[in-house]
Structure 1
């Protein structure tokens, strides 16, 4: 039997690692790293750095593979993601089946929390269910970028007694403001979707690379700061080659 750990490592700050995550990392014999290219090489480097900081008194190794790419700008978004997860599953099976020995423990270090817009749990669940590989797996939660964002802006997700929604920007653009919500937390926005909601008396709390040395925060009435956020996002993307940001939109009283 092989043990698989799916460990949430937080939004970037090493202090975001929970005690449970640190204990789990100290159980692992190997860490699976998915290389997403030179532009996102810092994400791989950060995982290596976290291991160096918290693992004590035991040997461990890294098992590396190239991460498949999702086909973008296609009408069938769900189909593209399912194709990506199928390709990832093939890579996961190779790493687990060929590179991890029976009785060993291997770990995936997932940015933020594994349950929030990440497919690692689904892929490992499918591999375990098929039964070709004798594995058991455990999920260790982490601090998500949304939690870190709210903490850095010193705000709550919701108003008193009110609901909030977490959504990818694509759905917000397609469906508009969700009925009955006064707060919407938005992830995976490649198109500056918040700009569609100017003139609606909203406040935005925006952050990029939250918890890292490159953290950038902007907050204020959406009508006043939307253009500054757009310009800042473009400059950061150009500088780093990628951007990881999220934001909270809230109706103003």
Structure 2
């Protein structure tokens, strides 16, 4: 039996790690850390530092190369194939390092429930016959870190919020019935495809990290600055994680 602990670690600030997360890390027999290439070495360096600060030598920390997603469309099919490859990589590491079972921990950016597929990938292992118990430790999400950084409420008074992706925003436009929209996974700055009149945007990158960057203002006034800032930061660091909130009226 494998007890798989999916541990939300927040958005990059070591202070985001909860006591529950630390207990789960310390209770693990094995922690797997994914390598995503030299361009994203900061990401594994942060995970390494979290492990060094919070677990003893009794817990094995093993790094492995994370498979990459094919850029060839269709998108959903490519994602499914990618998840299959990641599940196979996990299974390989488990077979080598936990052949008799035990407690395995994976450190998940933000929270495992929000625009993260770790839970879906874990279900593939179970579907393939692995004896698996899932445990989830919630973490601070990029949405929470964004609203905290800008000191704003997530929603207008008594109003709904839609959380979506850049791809969906570009394809479908502003979600019907929402005055507040949070957009994640937007590598193409989809806010530029929207009518800007009456829209305010709060954008943030590397939230909670030393290189945190924030921009806010009327969409028509700051859209170009966000695009320019985002491109410069990505070129400087080799990767970027960003998220933004837009509101059509003050709330």
TM-score for both structures, normalised by structure 2: 0.95
Q: In structure 1, how many angstroms separate the alpha carbons of the residues matched to 2:236 and 2:215?
A: 18
Cα drift, residue 124 of structure 1: 1.1
Cα drift, residue 198 of structure 1: 4.3
Q: In structure 1, how many angstroms separate the alpha carbons of the residues matched to 2:63 and 2:203?
A: 33
Which residues of 2 match residues 38-53 of structure 1 at below 5 A?
A: 38-53=38-53
Could you tell me whether the CA contact under 8 Å between 1:26 and 1:58 is conserved in 2? no
Cα drift, residue 73 of structure 1: 5.0
Which residues of 2 match residues 190-201 of structure 1 at below 5 A?
A: 190-201=187-198
Q: Residues 1-53 of structure 1, C-alpha deviation per residue, up to 9 Å, x if partnerless?
A: 22211100001111111121111111112111111100111111101101122
- Give the match for residue 79 of structure 1: 77
Q: Residues 192-213 of structure 1, C-alpha deviation per residue, up to 9 Å, x if partnerless?
A: 1111224331000000000001
Q: Secondary structure at the match of 1:6?
A: strand
Q: Residues 84-104 of structure 1, C-alpha deviation per residue, up to 9 Å, x if partnerless?
A: 001111101111222224242
Cα drift, residue 118 of structure 1: 1.3
- Give the match for residue 35 of structure 2: 35
- Are 1:130 and 2:128 counterparts? yes
Could you tell me whether the CA contact under 8 Å between 2:72 and 2:78 is conserved in 1? no
- Are 1:140 and 2:137 counterparts? yes
- Are 1:112 and 2:146 counterparts? no
Q: In structure 1, how many angstroms separate the alpha carbons of the residues matched to 2:79 and 2:162?
A: 22
Cα drift, residue 61 of structure 1: 1.8
Q: Secondary structure at the match of 1:139?
A: strand
Which residues of 2 match residues 1-253 of structure 1 at below 5 A?
A: 1-55=1-55, 59-74=58-73, 76-131=74-129, 133-253=130-250
Instruction: Decide which moves more: 100-109 or 87-96.
Output: 100-109
Cα drift, residue 248 of structure 1: 0.2
Q: In structure 1, how many angstroms separate the alpha carbons of the residues matched to 2:120 and 2:247?
A: 31
Cα drift, residue 58 of structure 1: 5.3
TM-score for both structures, normalised by structure 1: 0.95
